[in-house]
Amino acid sequence: MKAEGVKIFLVYAMLCLIWGSTWLAIRFGLESLTPIYSAGLRFSMASIFILVLMKIRGVSLQLDKVSIRLYLIMGFLSFVIPFGLVYWAEQFVPSGLASVLFAVFPFFVAIFSFLFIAEETIGIYKIFGIAIGFVGITVIFSDSFGRDITDYLLGMIAIILSAIMQASIAVTIKKYGHHLNPLAMNLVPMIIAGISMTVIGLLIEDTSTNRFDLNAILSILYLAFFGSLITFTSYYWLLKKINIVILSLSAFITPITALILGFLFYDEQLSNKHFIGAALVLMGVLAANLRNLLKIRKGVIIKSDA
């Protein structure tokens, strides 16, 4: 049990690190490619990686009615529509404000899991931790709030809708997707997303400006392999192992990773607000896990709260 706990921690940390780096990779890619078309290529390539890995590992695609229904729901409500909304919104909404808006994700995960998953416990520690973490994200990106929000109100609504959709699907998978292999769980949804978003990009974007230079190729490959295959497979594996509210707190940690990488690779400045906000986020994650840490200290581990 202790070895599995270490594995869970390492996978969770890797997930936060890679997802935080995807913002930088997307930024590189958008210097050469239009957003929706780029996302379509990312998911198309990711689906190829997943198919190859499934063949190597001998993983079969589950085709029962529940699985097919989940594939379709995930394809459109986890990938096509939410990612489309975010990519569209980021044309208008500053990235800092977008991060704060998407940080409502853990709140909705907590609400949906409380309503629909009886065995998922919320508790005062998790609620307190989510609140502190959200305050931390708000502090980090408070400089993004200077403009009149009426300039990008629709974009803000789009990002919040994306977070709500992602939260509802995460809870749905937690409740009904226990029988699905994490690789198989990703294949069909990513094929749907890849084809749909590539076609949408070709139809509505000015793809004549696209350049398949080194930036574009490296961005797509990185986002497809690490930002899609590794992260989403790890995410769905963790979804079966730990409390979904704890898992959702990764939405607070990834912006901190993105800030650090932006500082290292784009010479973006870090201020005292960033350090104070990051400290609050980490305190929030610690507070949300406090009950589990106390149980581990006493030698008691309950899987649903792991």
Domain residue extents for the chain: 2-305
Q: How far is CA 235 from CA 59, 190, 192, 204, 239, in A?
A: 18, 14, 19, 31, 6
Furthest C-alpha separation in the chain? 62
Amino acid at residue number 301: I
pLDDT value for 76: 93
By percentage, how much of the chain surpasses pLDDT 90?
A: 43
pLDDT value for 192: 96
Would the pLDDT of 145 be above 90?
Answer: no
Q: How far is the first Cα of the chain from the last one, in angstroms, to the nearest whole number?
A: 11
pLDDT value for 69: 94
The single residue listed with the structure tokens 């202790």 is 2
Would the pLDDT of 65 be above 70?
Answer: yes
pLDDT value for 140: 82
What SS3 state is found at 303? helix
Residue 95 binned pLDDT confidence (cut-offs 50, 70, 90): low
Would the pLDDT of 32 be above 60?
Answer: yes
Residue count of the chain: 306
| Separation CA 165–CA 64 (nearest Å) | 24
Question: Which is more confident, 299 or 264?
Answer: 264
Residues 186 and 128: beta-carbon distance below 8 Å? no
pLDDT value for 302: 42
Would the pLDDT of 223 be above 90?
Answer: yes
The single residue listed with the structure tokens 């459109």 is 76
pLDDT value for 124: 85
Residue 114 binned pLDDT confidence (cut-offs 50, 70, 90): confident
pLDDT value for 89: 83
- List, for residues 225-281, the tens digit of each pLDDT value: 999 999 999 999 998 888 888 889 888 888 888 788 877 876 767 788 888 988 998
Question: Which is more confident, 50 or 292?
Answer: 50
Question: Which is more confident, 5 or 304?
Answer: 5
pLDDT value for 234: 93
157-185 b/e with 16+ CB inside 10 Å = b? ebbbbbbbbbbbbbbbbbbebeebbbbbb
Rounded (10°) angle between helices 123-140 and 95-102: 170
- List, for residues 163-199, the tens digit of each pLDDT value: 999 999 999 999 998 888 989 889 999 999 999 999 9
Q: Is 299 left (phi over 0), alpha (psi -120 to 50) or beta?
A: left
Q: Which residues contact 52 (CB under 8 A, 6 or more apart)?
A: none
pLDDT value for 306: 41
Q: How far is CA 213 from the centre of its chain?
A: 27
Would the pLDDT of 299 be above 80?
Answer: no
The answer to which of 88-97, 152-161, 229-238 has the lowest mean pLDDT is 88-97
Would the pLDDT of 141 be above 70?
Answer: yes
Residues 112 and 259: beta-carbon distance below 8 Å? no
Provide mean pLDDT across the span 146-173.
85
Q: How far is CA 35 from CA 57, 74, 115, 214, in A?
A: 33, 21, 35, 17
Residue 156 binned pLDDT confidence (cut-offs 50, 70, 90): confident
Amino acid at residue number 52: V
The answer to which of 37-41, 140-144, 166-170, 201-205 has the lowest mean pLDDT is 140-144
By the 10 Å C-beta count (0-12 exposed, 13-18 middle, 19+ buried), 205 is classed as middle
| Separation CA 134–CA 282 (nearest Å) | 11
pLDDT value for 304: 43
Q: CB neighbours (10 Å) of residue 264?
A: 10
Nearest by Cα to 276 from 102, 144, 135: 135
| Separation CA 120–CA 231 (nearest Å) | 23
| Separation CA 67–CA 174 (nearest Å) | 13
